[in-house]
Each structure stands twice: as structure tokens, then as C-alpha cells.
């Protein structure tokens, strides 16, 4: 719809919208996170929901204990290899549409604990991540920023066409294989459909 | 708390069959320790707990240490230490042994407010005879910590009521805190690799 | 859990079951074959509850956690229930095992300080202190007096912060969603502002160094602490008035999870939990590390060792911490904050070993270091108080209901970063 015409109409008290905007507005304004903390970042996540930072201003204060009722998984903390299958399982149990925020350096890449034998080097090896927040731990403001970014992302999702989100495409799976505990490592060590290591050409000269 | 030498004399008088030795600690705190043979460990521990002068009723810390066998790389390190420092290093004695796992207990007395007394048990080697006596029957606080030592070092505690892995998953087969543990190769690109990561990066 | 043993319904049937009332499902055309039921095709997670084999349907085995709102992180309890009573409880941990010790053996002595922040992430400053205390013991370093006072100040602020959050979470576990925790976090934010002004970080302070502290106090910091110290008793009075005589709190906590002093000592329980059982053992008093010998403060002791005593001990300890804070503020001397002999880079202590411990807010936090003369320790071990305190969780919970087990776990005060390291 033409932007000028819409402005003109709104001055005269007529509100126009599209189905897509209305649908996305409703979805983005009440993102319910999963009440799911892993480590240090979870404390800052709790702090973000407390009086000072008040995540309720953005419609995301309803932390749900059950994945069945949640829209957003905030992976707040170090994902260890012992925990990774359970994180993927929780993500699988969430209904579509669902989103993932990787909060903190550990959830992004393993962070300071990257060289640990039991630390997963980033949850995006198994599930697709929408927003990454750097920091160790990120401040609550950073979490709010990530939430706003997620809202922008939701608002921009088209309902039809090639770029429509996962839950509107019937053939795109919304669930991801859960890794199994192996004798030395998780099996598989990463989900190739979700994550591939960056192709790096290394020369010994540098 | 009384010094280790008179304590050892009293201990030998009370338990003549016990094989106990003093291990010196050359560092600044000079907190020497008692090395007890695994066969008499429980008796010695009971005595330490119940002796009226000691009453070490509180076992604070239980931990494992992995002492490797003598290798050529270690000999290099010995020469460097001897050049730089003036004293004898304790490893030079242990170097003749074929490597072993050690379990260290730090004992305190809550009743008398003294401590710590350091108690050590050693396995015969690192490969097949990695048994020591569990002191959980004497001090319950060793229960989880011994499980952890079993999990991460592979020390088997005879007499432990519930010896399972505690930190790693049950299917895990290696002992990750041992010095020769090789972790799974899941290298990820790093923009500025250095040291060990650079060695790894060159392999990929 | 009640559907244990029954295969979960396929999604189609579930939708039918949820549709209104007694409608007959739509008749299918006879030529269309019914889709084969796929009970476990959609979710590979089987229901965790199952009937234990020995009880002939009397006992139910439930796994609480690791994703559970009341297990304080990624802790799991394998519980066997008879009705609602706990007859067996096995703690399962390791879901946050991030290899602190292995990493500590690979990095230099200095490089491990930031990792200690992440052990018990409520109390990074006391973790720092335990570690640098051990290294100072190992290398024989002296700490200037001003640095000792700064350490006491920050450590007691940390203790207040930890106990505040603990009480908030404990009451939260009893069903008081919101208010007490909100109040606690309001005070916590004031403390975090102080920490941020001092160290540059809210939670991961990384402030102590071998032989002192990293930097001197910023201007205005002491006034900020003084303001907090002045206001804090009023908050504490209000908090106690709000909670102490609350009937739900009394019923849910008195007589629940009684820990006898004999068992507490034998099981190595330390910290407020031990003192709630009436054992007078506070490492600040026993070891008098730092300058704790100069302060007048009392050690609160419990009588019954139940959950209420453990709750009350924390409140009383906050008042004692407040007393220490006031004295430390008055007596804080001027002077250097770092031992000039302390080497931060290229630090290589002599070969040997040392065990150092402090009274962390959760109990006795110890570090055990073995040096072989290299820049990194040969063995680096953390003695985590909350891990050892978990040993007696089963003893405390047996015979109580599952809901009480949650409260007891809350009163043990665990932080998974420290339990699993």
C-alpha cells in the first residue's frame, strides 16, 4: 500500500494495515521466552526480568517453564556436551514459530571455556540461532537489545514467497536431530544441515 | 596441631602394621603430608579421626593427581629447574617410578579447630591397578569427591558405596583429567591462532 | 508423569481429544486407509517417568531436571516417589561441567583468575580471594594492609549479595513468585553498581591479584558503600517483617529437612548450612585469614538444623556482614594496594603444593595447587562448597514430599557453576 495514502488515511482516523503486518505485530509483541538458564548468563537474564530492566516493557516477561508454551529459547550460558542433547530436545519440543537467542560468548562459540573437553563450541552447531549477543555475561540491556532485534526480524518476515519463515513452509523441518552421547564425544559432533565450519584457506606465509 | 614426626611415632605405636611415610613439601607453606598404603588406609583414617589428640572429623578436600611416567621431555624440565633454583626438586625421586595416580585428602578438625593434615594414597600404576581404598566409610564428605576422582582420573575406590561417573555422562570412556588425555578433534577456525591452537590449526 | 507407561498419543488424536465436548470424530471415507499410528515418530523424548520395577506399581521414578525451574540451574534429581513422598533421591550433576580444572592446568597462574569468577557466579570476588590466597600461600607473598581491607569490604558485600539472592530464590521456590525476589534483586543492583564502579564488570569482577588488588578504589566509591551500609538495615528490617512470620514460610520450612550436627560434620557440610545445625565453625574465625581477626562480629548458630534455621542464618549473617562493613569502612588505611615483590607476568612459584581456603558465602571454598616450577600449575583443584554440601541432599529429603525436596534444595544454596565447575 502506498505510504502517502496510508498517512493521509491515518490523519483522517482510518487505520489500514496488511495481514502480514498485523500477524507479525501480534507475534513480535508477545514473545514468551522459555524459562531456561544454563549458567552465569541466566542470572543476567533474571536480572533483565526484574524491576530495574523490566523486560515486561517489551512483552517478553512471561517466562514459561514448559517448552510447549514458549516462543523463544534464550540459550543463556555454557552449553556443555552433556547438556547439548537436552537443549536440542527442548528446542524440538517448542511449537513453531520459534526463535533462538544465543546469549553470551559461551553459547555463541564456547567462549572462555572453548578449549574444554566437555564444552560445546557454540549451540549453532545443532540448532539455528537467530540472534547472537556477545559478552561474558552480556548486560541485561544487551538482552533487551537482542529482543528488539528479534522483534525487528519477526516484523520483517514475509508470510508468502520464497523467504517465508520455517513454520510456514510445510517441507522445512522444525525439528533437529538430537545428538547422542558417544564414548568420546557427541555423535554427531555437529549438524551439517545447520552449521558448517567456515572455509578457511590458510597459508603458512602469514 | 602436633607436628608430623611425633604424630607418625604415635601412629606407628598404635597401628604397628601400617605403612605410613612422610612426604615433604618444599614450597613456602611446607605443608608436608602422610603417604599411606592403600591396604591400611581405612584403619589409619579411622585412627586419625578417633584419636583424642587429633580428632580429624572433617575431610575437606579430596582430589586426584596424575603423575606421569618418566619421559624425555620431562627430563628437559628437570635440568632447567636445577639450573635456576637451588634446591632439590621432589619429582626427581618420583621419576624413577612408572607413573601413578594419587588421591589427596585434606583433613581438619572441627572439634579442635586445627588442621590441615594431608593424607595421600597412591595406586600401583596408571593402567590396570588403579585401586585405592575408599575413605567414604570414614568421612561421608568423600563420597561425591571420590566419585569425581573416579570420573576424571579413573581411580577405582574399593569400598565406595556408589562408584559411578558423576560429571561426565555414563557412556563416556576416557578419563579427561589425566595428563595424557587427548580431547576429540573439533577444531574451529580462529582468526588469530597461537600456541597449541596454532598447531591444531596447521593440521586442518 | 501420570501418563507413564502409556505411549503418547499421536498428534491427530491429541487434537481430537482437545476439541469441544462429545463430538464424534469426523468419519473417514472408507476407501482412505487410516494413517498408521506413529507413537514416537514425532518426539524421540520418551516420558521420563516410569514405574520402578521392585515396587509392583507402588513407586514412581521421576527425573526432576536438568531443565526445571526450581533446580537452580541445570541440576537433576532422580527421585523415586511413593505417592508424593520421596523414598530415594540421587543427585545427577555435570550438566555444567566446563572443565575449569583442566583449563586451569593449561593456563598461567594469572590467567586462571577470570575463570574463578565463573565458578560461583554470584560471588566472583570471594572466588578470586580463595584463589589468590592459595597462590600467595604457595609463593609466600604478603598483602598490603589497604588491600586486605578492600578484600574484606568486597567479600562482605559479596556475601550480602549472595544471601539476598539465595533468600529470594528460596522463597520463590516456596511459591512467593515475584515480590521477595524482586526486592532482593533491587538491592543486588545497588551492589552490582558498586562492583561495576570498582572493577568495570557487574558480575565477573576479576579484581584481586597475587599480593593485592588490581586497582585502587575509584573516587566516591567509599561513599557509595557507606550509603549502602546506611540504607541496608532498613531494607533488611522490611524484608524480615515481610517474610519472617509468614505462615506459609513457617509451615513450609520448620521441621523440614533436619540436618543433625554429627552428619553435617561427617559429610563435610560447611558454611551457613553447617552453622544452621549448630556447629560453630566459620573459617573466618578459625583461620583468621586476611584481617578478619581485627573485626568484631558474631557467628550465628542454628538450633534445629531445619530449613527455617538455614533461612534465618542467612538473614543473621547479613547483619553481621553489615557490622564488618561498618568497621572496615571506618578503619580502612591508606597505602599501597599491591605487594611490590609480586610478579604478575612470568610468575613461577617454587615447586610444591598449597591448600588455601576461605569462608565463601556458600561454605568453605578451597583451592589446591601443585606447582612444578612452571608458569602453569601442575594440578589445579577447586574444593567447591556447594558440591560437597549436596552429599547429604538425599538424607535431608527422605520422607518429605517432592515439593519439600525443592525447598530443601533451595536452602542448600547450590550454584551449578561451582558444583560442576
Q: Which residues of chain B does A190 touch, with a Cβ-Cβ cutoff of 8 Å? A: 186
C368-416, pLDDT tens digit by residue? 999 888 888 999 999 999 999 988 888 888 888 988 998 999 898 888 8
How far apart are the CA of C56 and the nearest CA of chain B, in angstroms?
25
A53: pLDDT strictly greater than 80: yes
CATH topology for B4-67+100-165? Beta Polymerase; domain 2 (3.30.460)
Contacts of C31 (CB under 8 A, 6+ apart): none
C159: pLDDT strictly greater than 90: yes
Beta bridge partners of A131: A101
List of chains touching B (3+ CB pairs within 8 A): A, C
Is the Cβ–Cβ distance between A114 and A105 less than 8 Å?
Answer: no
Share of chain B above pLDDT 70, in %: 83
Of B194 and C290, the one with more pLDDT:
C290
How far apart are the CA of B102 and the nearest CA of chain C, in angstroms?
11
Q: Which residues of chain C does B142 touch, with a Cβ-Cβ cutoff of 8 Å? A: 268
Q: Which range in A188-197, B26-35, B39-48 is most confidently predicted, on average pLDDT?
A: B39-48
List the single residue in A with minimal CA-CA distance to C45: A89
C129: pLDDT strictly greater than 90: yes
* Low-confidence winner among C6-10, C115-119, C240-244, C334-338 (lowest mean pLDDT): C6-10
* Residue C392: other Cβ atoms inside 10 A: 24
List the single residue in C with minimal CA-CA distance to A76: C73
What global pTM score does this model have? 0.84
Which of C351, C366, C418 should be substituted to probe chain B, the one whose Cβ sees the most B Cβ atoms within 10 Å? C351
Share of chain B above pLDDT 90, in %: 9
Is the Cβ–Cβ distance between C113 and C128 less than 8 Å?
Answer: yes
| The predicted structure's pLDDT at residue C149 | 92
| The predicted structure's pLDDT at residue C19 | 34
B50-70, pLDDT tens digit by residue? 888 888 889 999 999 988 876
A202: pLDDT strictly greater than 80: no
Q: Which residues of chain C does B113 touch, with a Cβ-Cβ cutoff of 8 Å? A: 281, 286
| The predicted structure's pLDDT at residue C224 | 92
- Using only the alpha carbons of chain A, give its radius of gyration: 19
Contact C137 B29 (CB under 8 A): yes
> Strand, helix or coil at A100?
strand
Contacts of A191 (CB under 8 A, 6+ apart): A125, A126, A127, A176, A177, A179
Instruction: Summarize the confidence of residues C198-209 as an average pLDDT.
Output: 89
Is the Cβ–Cβ distance between A126 and A190 less than 8 Å?
Answer: yes
C204-263, pLDDT tens digit by residue? 888 998 888 888 899 999 999 999 999 999 999 998 888 888 888 888 888 888 888 888
Q: Which of residues 87-106 of C touch A (CB under 8 A)?
A: 94-100, 102-103, 106
Select from B171, B188, B201 the Cβ nearest to the Cβ of A183.
Answer: B171
Which of B184, B185, B204 should be substituted to probe chain A, the one whose Cβ sees the most A Cβ atoms within 10 Å? B184
Assigned C-alpha cell, B110: 572441627
Calpha distance C372→B80 (Å, rounded): 11
Contacts of B20 (CB under 8 A, 6+ apart): B8, B11, B12, B34, B35, B36, B37, B40, B44
Count of CB contacts below 8 A, B vs C?
Answer: 124
Calpha distance A185→B171 (Å, rounded): 10
Distance of CA A42 to the CA centre of its chain: 15
| The predicted structure's pLDDT at residue A145 | 93
Calpha distance A172→C269 (Å, rounded): 52
Contacts of C91 (CB under 8 A, 6+ apart): C75, C76, C77, C78, C390, C393, C394
Is the Cβ–Cβ distance between A88 and A75 less than 8 Å?
Answer: no
CATH topology for A32-157? Rossmann fold (3.40.50)
Share of chain C above pLDDT 70, in %: 86
List the single residue in A with minimal CA-CA distance to B183: A117
Select from C68, C103, C416 the Cβ nearest to the Cβ of A39.
Answer: C416
Select from A82, A92, A175 the Cβ nearest to the Cβ of C95.
Answer: A82
- CA distances to B5, B20, B94, B156, B158 from B122, in Å: 21, 12, 12, 11, 13
* Low-confidence winner among B149-163, C53-67, C210-224 (lowest mean pLDDT): C53-67
Angle CA A62–A68–A69, to nearest 5: 25
Q: Which residues of chain A does C186 touch, with a Cβ-Cβ cutoff of 8 Å? A: 50-52
C73: pLDDT strictly greater than 90: no
Which of A78, A81, A140 should be substituted to probe chain C, the one whose Cβ sees the most C Cβ atoms within 10 Å? A78
Q: Which residues of chain C does A78 touch, with a Cβ-Cβ cutoff of 8 Å? A: 96, 98
CATH topology for C109-418? Cytochrome-c3 Hydrogenase; chain B (1.10.645)
A115: pLDDT strictly greater than 90: no
How far apart are the CA of B179 and the nearest CA of chain C, in angstroms?
9
Is the Cβ–Cβ distance between A104 and A111 less than 8 Å?
Answer: yes
Instruction: Summarize the confidence of residues A179-183 as an average pLDDT.
Output: 88
Q: Is A42 on the interface with C (CB under 8 A)?
A: yes
Calpha distance C336→C334 (Å, rounded): 7
Span(s) in chain B for CATH 3.30.460.80? 4-67+100-165
- Using only the alpha carbons of chain C, give its radius of gyration: 25
Calpha distance A24→C11 (Å, rounded): 26
| The predicted structure's pLDDT at residue A201 | 67
pLDDT band at A88 (very low <50, low <70, confident <90, very high): very high
Contact C97 A82 (CB under 8 A): yes
Domain-wise residue ranges, chain A: 32-157
Is the Cβ–Cβ distance between B142 and B62 less than 8 Å?
Answer: yes
* Low-confidence winner among A21-30, A161-170, B150-159, B179-188 (lowest mean pLDDT): B179-188
> Strand, helix or coil at A76?
strand
Q: Which residues of chain B does C273 touch, with a Cβ-Cβ cutoff of 8 Å? A: none
C186 closest CA partner among C239, C249, C240? C239
Select from C99, C350, C353 the Cβ nearest to the Cβ of B85.
Answer: C350
Q: Which of residues 80-139 of B touch C (CB under 8 A)?
A: 81, 84-85, 87, 89-91, 104, 106, 110, 113, 116, 118, 139
Instruction: Summarize the confidence of residues C103-116 as an average pLDDT.
Output: 89
Instruction: Summarize the confidence of residues C41-46 as an average pLDDT.
Output: 33
List the single residue in C with minimal CA-CA distance to B181: C102
* Low-confidence winner among C60-69, C102-111, C279-288 (lowest mean pLDDT): C60-69
**Phi (first) and psi of residue B23, to 5 degrees:** -105, 125
Instruction: Summarize the confidence of residues A96-118 as an average pLDDT.
Output: 88
Select from B31, B84, B144 the Cβ nearest to the Cβ of C354.
Answer: B31
How does the average pLDDT of chain C come out, rounded? Answer: 82
Is the Cβ–Cβ distance between B151 and B165 less than 8 Å?
Answer: yes
pLDDT band at B78 (very low <50, low <70, confident <90, very high): low
Amino acid at each position: 500500500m502506498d505510504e502517502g495514502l496510508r498517512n493521509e488515511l491515518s490523519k483522517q482516523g482510518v487505520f489500514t494495515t496488511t495481514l502480514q503486518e498485523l500477524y507479525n505485530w501480534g507475534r513480535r509483541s508477545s514473545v514468551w521466552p522459555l524459562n531456561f538458564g544454563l549458567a552465569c548468563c541466566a542470572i543476567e537474564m533474571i536480572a533483565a526480568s526484574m524491576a530495574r530492566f523490566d523486560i515486561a516493557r517489551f512483552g517478553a516477561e512471561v517466562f514459561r517453564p514448559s517448552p510447549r508454551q514458549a516462543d523463544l529459547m534464550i540459550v543463556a550460558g555454557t552449553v556443555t556436551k552433556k547438556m547439548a542433547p537436552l537443549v536440542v530436545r527442548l528446542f524440538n519440543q517448542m511449537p513453531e514459530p520459534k526463535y533462538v537467542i544465543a546469549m553470551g560468548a559461551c553459547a555463541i562459540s564456547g567462549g572462555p571455556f572453548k578449549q574444554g573437553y566437555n564444552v560445546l563450541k557454540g549451540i549453532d552447531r545443532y540448532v539455528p540461532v537467530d540472534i547472537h549477543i556477545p559478552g561474558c555475561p552480556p548486560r541485561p540491556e544487551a538482552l533487551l537489545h537482542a529482543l528488539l532485534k528479534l522483534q525487528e526480524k519477526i516484523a520483517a518476515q514475509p508470510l508468502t514467497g520464497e523467504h517465508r519463515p520455517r513454520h510456514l513452509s510445510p517441507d522445512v523441518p522444525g525439528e533437529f536431530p538430537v545428538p547422542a552421547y558417544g564414548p568420546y564425544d557427541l555423535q554427531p559432533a555437529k549438524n551439517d544441515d545447520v552449521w558448517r565450519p567456515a572455509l578457511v584457506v590458510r597459508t603458512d606465509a602469514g | 596441631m602436633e607436628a608430623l614426626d611425633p604424630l607418625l611415632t604415635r601412629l606407628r605405636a598404635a597401628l604397628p602394621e601400617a605403612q605410613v611415610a612422610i612426604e615433604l613439601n618444599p614450597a613456602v607453606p611446607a605443608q608436608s603430608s602422610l603417604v599411606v598404603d592403600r591396604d591400611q588406609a581405612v584403619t589409619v583414617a579411622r585412627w586419625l579421626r578417633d584419636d583424642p589428640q587429633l580428632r580429624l572429623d572433617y575431610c575437606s578436600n579430596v582430589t586426584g593427581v596424575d603423575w606421569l611416567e618418566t619421559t624425555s621431555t620431562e627430563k628437559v624440565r628437570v635440568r632447567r629447574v636445577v639450573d635456576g633454583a637451588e634446591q632439590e626438586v621432589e619429582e626427581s625421586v618420583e621419576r624413577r617410578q612408572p607413573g601413578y595416580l594419587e588421591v589427596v585428602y585434606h583433613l581438619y578438625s572441627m572439634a579442635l579447630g586445627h588442621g590441615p593434615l594431608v593424607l595421600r594414597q597412591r595406586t600401583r600404576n596408571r593402567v590396570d591397578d588403579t585401586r585405592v581404598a575408599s575413605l567414604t566409610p570414614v568421612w561421608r564428605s568423600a563420597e561425591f569427591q571420590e566419585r569425581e576422582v573416579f570420573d576424571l582420573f579413573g581411580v577405582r575406590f574399593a569400598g565406595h558405596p556408589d562408584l559411578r561417573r558423576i560429571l561426565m555422562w555414563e557412556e563416556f570412556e576416557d578419563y579427561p583429567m589425566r595428563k595424557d588425555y587427548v580431547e576429540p578433534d573439533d577444531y574451529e577456525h580462529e582468526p588469530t591462532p597461537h600456541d597449541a591452537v596454532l598447531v591444531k590449526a596447521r593440521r586442518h | 508423569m501420570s501418563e507413564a507407561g502409556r505411549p503418547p498419543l499421536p498428534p491427530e488424536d491429541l487434537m481430537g481429544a482437545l476439541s469441544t465436548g462429545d463430538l464424534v470424530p469426523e468419519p473417514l471415507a472408507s476407501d482412505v486407509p487410516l494413517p498408521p499410528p506413529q507413537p514416537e515418530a514425532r518426539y524421540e523424548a520418551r516420558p521420563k517417568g516410569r514405574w520402578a520395577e521392585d515396587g509392583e506399581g507402588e513407586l514412581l521414578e521421576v527425573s526432576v531436571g536438568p531443565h526445571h525451574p526450581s533446580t537452580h540451574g541445570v541440576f537433576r534429581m532422580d527421585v523415586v516417589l511413593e505417592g508424593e513422598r520421596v523414598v530415594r533421591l540421587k543427585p545427577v550433576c555435570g550438566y555444567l561441567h566446563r572443565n575449569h580444572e583442566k583449563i586451569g592446568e593449561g593456563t598461567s597462574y594469572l590467567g586462571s583468575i577470570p575463570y574463578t569468577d565463573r565458578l560461583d557466579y554470584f560471588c566472583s570476588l570471594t572466588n578470586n580471594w580463595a584463589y589468590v590466597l592459595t597462590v600467595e600461600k604457595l609463593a609466600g607473598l604478603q598483602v598490603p594492609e589497604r588491600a586486605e581491607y578492600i578484600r574484606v569490604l568486597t567479600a562482605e558485600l559479596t556475601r550480602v549479595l549472595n544471601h539476598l539472592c539465595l533468600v529470594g530464590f528460596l522463597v520463590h521456590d516456596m511459591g512467593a513468585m515475584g515480590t521477595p525476589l524482586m526486592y532482593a534483586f533491587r538491592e543486588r543492583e545497588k551492589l552490582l553498581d558498586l562492583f561495576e564502579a570498582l572493577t568495570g564488570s557487574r558480575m565477573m569482577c576479576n579484581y584481586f591479584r597475587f599480593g593485592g588488588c588490581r586497582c585502587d578504589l575509584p573516587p566516591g566509591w567509599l561513599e557509595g558503600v557507606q550509603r549502602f551500609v546506611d540504607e541496608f538495615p532498613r531494607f533488611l528490617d522490611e524484608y524480615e517483617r515481610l517474610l519472617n512470620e509468614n505462615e506459609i514460610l513457617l509451615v513450609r520450612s520448620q521441621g523440614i529437612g533436619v540436618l543433625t550436627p554429627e552428619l553435617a560434620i561427617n559429610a563435610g557440610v560447611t558454611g551457613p548450612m553447617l552453622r544452621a545445625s549448630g556447629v560453630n565453625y566459620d573459617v573466618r574465625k578459625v583461620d583468621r585469614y586476611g584481617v578478619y581477626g581485627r573485626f568484631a562480629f558474631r557467628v550465628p548458630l542454628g538450633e534445629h538444623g531445619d530449613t527455617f534455621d538455614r533461612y534465618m542464618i542467612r538473614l543473621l549473617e547479613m547483619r553481621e556482614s553489615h557490622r564488618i562493613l561498618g568497621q572496615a569502612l571506618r578503619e580502612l588505611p591508606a597505602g599501597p594496594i599491591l605487594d611490590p615483590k609480586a610478579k604478575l607476568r612470568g610468575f613461577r612459584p617454587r615447586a610444591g603444593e598449597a591448600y588455601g581456603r576461605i569462608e565463601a558465602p556458600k561454605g568453605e571454598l578451597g583451592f589446591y595447587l601443585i606447582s612444578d616450577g612452571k608458569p602453569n600449575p601442575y594440578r589445579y583443584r577447586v574444593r567447591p562448597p556447594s558440591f560437597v554440601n549436596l552429599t547429604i541432599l538425599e538424607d535431608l529429603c527422605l520422607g518429605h514430599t517432592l515439593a519439600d525436596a525443592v525447598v530443601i534444595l533451595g536452602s542448600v544454596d547450590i550454584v551449578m557453576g561451582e558444583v560442576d565447575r
